[in-house]
Amino acid sequence: MSDVKEIPAVWIGGGTCGGCSISALNTVAPSIKNVLIDEVVPGRHISLKFHTNISAGSGDAVIQAIEDTGQEHEGQFLLIVEGVVPTADGGVYCMVGERNGEPMPFYQWVVELGKKAMAVIALGTCASFGGIPGAKPNPTGVKSVMEIFKEEGISTPLINVPGCPPHPDWFVGTIAKLLLVGLPKEGDLDDLLRPKDFYGQLIHENCQRRAYFDEGKFAKKFGDPGCLYELGCKGPITYADCPIRQWNNGVNWCIRSGMGCQGCTQPEFPDFLGSFYEKLTDVDIPKIGEYWKNGRIERNA
């Protein structure tokens, strides 16, 4: 039997509801047991040193485990960040553990561990773009991991896996590809550092109600047949493979269940122009094939 290479991982949570963790724990193939105990890919195993929710220890012991991982495995461990990073008033709105008897701002953990990690995964829209806590007026001054890295000049490879919450496959698939082929190469990520494997196409491109859009048949109220664009669907500007992958082990997804896409994988979420139930305005709807405009079907030139 060949030797199995252990990849240390630290999963830290800041301003988070915990939904991203819950979603990841519900992964089906592989199961979370397979991810944590077995080899995710042949010859590679994730050794999770800390997780806010599932670590057996607590207090100083787990804080020491985080510190030790950063020191003993510098440049060799994977950092997973869940939740926003509050920065107002010195980061006092999110403290994680203590050092020398003083509370540690989550901001400081992200900076210190981010500099030492092999790669960083910002899991969920909060960590990727600011999400709900970063919505106006943003009183705690939350920022995304990407913003923190830019301000601090941190060059560690960063992968954003947004979603509120992200699909378990997006997270596990990102981990598996990292272990299988290494760090992302040119063209693997989009301009927002999202894996194109999962965020390479618009919801609009694969939506089961797309034909209604092309024909100009729009639902007037929820429950009606037709495209949900007039009822606030953000599918035409949202990148994710939800229509193909679906949720809850491939059972359903937002639009198929009768609700418009909320655009939760986008940096604009939730501060879109207008409410979740208002039609998108002042945005360019991508011209994909045929689309409806001013009462008639037009085609791309």
Residues identified as active-site: 17, 20, 126, 164, 204, 207, 227, 233, 242, 254, 261, 264
Reading phi first (left if > 0) and then psi (alpha if -120 to 50, else beta), residue 182 is in: left
Q: Which amino acid is at 9?
A: A
Q: How far apart are alpha carbons 160 and 181 in whole angstroms?
A: 18
| Under 8 Å between Cβ of 238 and 266 | yes
| Under 8 Å between Cβ of 206 and 216 | no
Residues 6+ apart with CB under 8 A from 87: 107, 140, 141, 142, 143, 148
Distances from the Cα of 147 to the Cαs of 84, 141, 142, 295, in angstroms?
11, 12, 10, 42
Which H or E run includes 128? Answer: helix 125-129
Retrieve residue 155's tokens: 């060059």
